[in-house]
Structures are given as structure tokens and as C-alpha cells.
């Protein structure tokens, strides 16, 4: 049975996703405040960077947002998307593991914790067993945009 706790806003989920990425070992974390848009129109909610991999987090506060996400061209063709690792981040039960696109992971955001539900790698495989090869050109666009804005 689907347990939907939708009292968290998208902005609150993004804030929690950023904290999770930092705790997961990402030395650089960018969020949707940078408003960087790739050549395919993708605008990541959170993108964590390590020296050897990138981790995309898509936050979903509503079921309709998750269903709409599947129709985007960079979701239908994973080679166009960013992130060597890709996770959905949502309230518990909003998305079920059997609904995930191939290669995606799932994190449930509870009021005081984040639960690893599906496809979350250990540190030992983050570099060697990437399910995706993130689109490097689009990742550079996002990083460039963030650095330009940070410079002032």
C-alpha cells in the first residue's frame, strides 16, 4: 500500500537532499538555486560532485511531478541526462522501487532522517560501477553557471 506523506515542500526536500549529498561525501554540492539549465532543458534539483563521479538527486513532493518527469527527453534517453548516479528523493511511499527507471536509486525523506530504499552504492563501487555516464557537456554547463554566479 502506498504511504504518501506530502507535507514537505519541494524546497524543503531540496534542502535535505543537499545535506544528504554532503554527508554522503560529495565535496561540492549544487542545488536548484543556481538555475543552471542544460542543453536538453534538464535543471537538477541537487548535483553532488566527487573527484570521480557525479550524483544527481531529483526531488519529488508530488506523485504527478514524478509521473511527469518520466516524459522528459533526458529521462527517456539516459545518455542526455546528468549524473553518473541518479536518485529520486521523496516522502515515504510516494515512489515505489518497482516504478524506478533502470539504474535509478531511491531515498525516502522522513522528518529526522533519510532512508536508503534502493540502489544506493557503497563507497567502494561509486567509481567503478556507475549505472550511467553523465553527459559531461551538460554537467560542465551546470558547474560553469554555478561558478559564474558564485563569483558575483
pLDDT at 151: 67
Segment 83-120, tens digit of pLDDT: 999 999 999 999 999 999 999 999 999 999 999 999 99
pTM of the model: 0.90
**pLDDT per residue as tens, the chain (152 positions):** 455 555 889 999 999 999 999 999 999 999 877 666 677 788 899 999 998 899 999 999 999 999 999 899 888 989 999 999 999 999 999 999 999 999 999 999 999 999 999 999 988 888 889 999 888 888 888 888 888 777 65
Q: Which residues of 103-113 are buried (b: 16+ CB within 10 A; e: fewer)?
A: ebbbbbbeeee
> Which segments of the chain does DSSP mark as H helices, in order?
10-23, 63-69, 73-76, 136-151
pLDDT at 14: 95
Amino acid at each position: 500500500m502506498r504511504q504518501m506523506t506530502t507535507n514537505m515542500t519541494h524546497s524543503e526536500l531540496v534542502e535535505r537532499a543537499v545535506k544528504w549529498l554532503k554527508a554522503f561525501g560529495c565535496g561540492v554540492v549544487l542545488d536548484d538555486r543556481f538555475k543552471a539549465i542544460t542543453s536538453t532543458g534538464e535543471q537538477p534539483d541537487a548535483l553532488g560532485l566527487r573527484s570521480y563521479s557525479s550524483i544527481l538527486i531529483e526531488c519529488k513532493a508530488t506523485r504527478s511531478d514524478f509521473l511527469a518527469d518520466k516524459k522528459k527527453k533526458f529521462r527517456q534517453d539516459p545518455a542526455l541526462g546528468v549524473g553518473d548516479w541518479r536518485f529520486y528523493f521523496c516522502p515515504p511511499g510516494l515512489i515505489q522501487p518497482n516504478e524506478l527507471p533502470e539504474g535509478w536509486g531511491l531515498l525516502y525523506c522522513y522528518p529526522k532522517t533519510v532512508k536508503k530504499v534502493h540502489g544506493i552504492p557503497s563507497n567502494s563501487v561509486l567509481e567503478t560501477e556507475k549505472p550511467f555516464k553523465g553527459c559531461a557537456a551538460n554537467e560542465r554547463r551546470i558547474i560553469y553557471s554555478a561558478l559564474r554566479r558564485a563569483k558575483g
